[in-house]
Amino acid sequence: MSRRGLETGLSAGLLVAALGGIAWATGEPFVFPSLGPTAFVLAFRRRGGRSRSSRIVGGHAVGAVVGFAAYALIAPGVTLDPSLSAASTDTLRLVTSGAVSVAATGWGMVELDAVHPPACATTLIVSLGLLSTPQSVATIVASVVVLVGAHRATDALLAEMYGDSPTDAGTRS
C-alpha cells in the first residue's frame, strides 16, 4: 500500500465527509455527484495553487448557472425521473436542456479559463431538474468553495505534519 494512495483516498473522503456534515446539519444539498471527482482531483494533485482553485470554483459556477439557465428556458417543471415516458415531449425537453447545458458549459469554461471537467456533471445535475432552484445553484457554488477551502486546510496540515514541499506532493509514493 502506497502512502500516496492512502493519503489520496483519505483526503478525498474527508473532503466529501466535511460537506456531508454541512449537508446533514443544514438539510441543504452540499453533497452531489460531481463533487466526488473534484475531491479526488484535489486530493491526488495536492498542490495546485490558486489558479487551479479558481478554475475548479469557476468551472462549477459556470456549470451551475448555465445548467439553471438551460433548465429554466427549455425544461422548467420537468425532472429526470424513471416515470418519464419514452419519446415524450418532457423527455425531449430534458434531453435538449442537458445537451445545451453541456455545450454552453464547455464553451464558457474554455472562454473563462475555468476548465474543470467534473463541472459538466454539475451542469447536467442542474439542467436535468435534479438541483434546479436558485437556492440549489447557490448551494452548489458554496459547496465547491467550501470543498476548495477544506482542501487548502488539509493540504496545509499535511505539509506541516510531513514537511512536504510543493514539488514533493506529485512525486510521493
Q: pTM of whole model > 0.75?
A: yes
Q: Report in angstroms the alpha-carbon separations of 156 from 13, 47, 55, 143.
A: 17, 10, 20, 20
Q: What is the DSSP string of 5-47?
A: HHHHHHHHHHHHHHHHHHHHHH-S----TTHHHHHHHHHHS--
In a domain, 16, yes or no: yes
The percent of residues in the chain predicted with pLDDT above 70, rounded, is 91
In a domain, 101, yes or no: yes
Reply yes or no on whether the pLDDT at 168 is more than 70.
no
More confident residue, 90 or 170: 90
Give the pLDDT band of residue 154 (cuts 50, 70, 90).
Answer: confident
Q: What phi and psi, each to the nearest 5 degrees, are found at residue 10?
A: -65, -45
Domain containing 71 equals: 3-162
Reply yes or no on whether the pLDDT at 129 is more than 60.
yes
In a domain, 173, yes or no: no
Between CA 128 and CA 131 the distance in angstroms is 8
Reply yes or no on whether the pLDDT at 160 is more than 50.
yes
Reply yes or no on whether the pLDDT at 173 is more than 70.
no
In a domain, 25, yes or no: yes
CB 47, CB 155: distance < 8 Å:
yes
115: which DSSP letter?
-
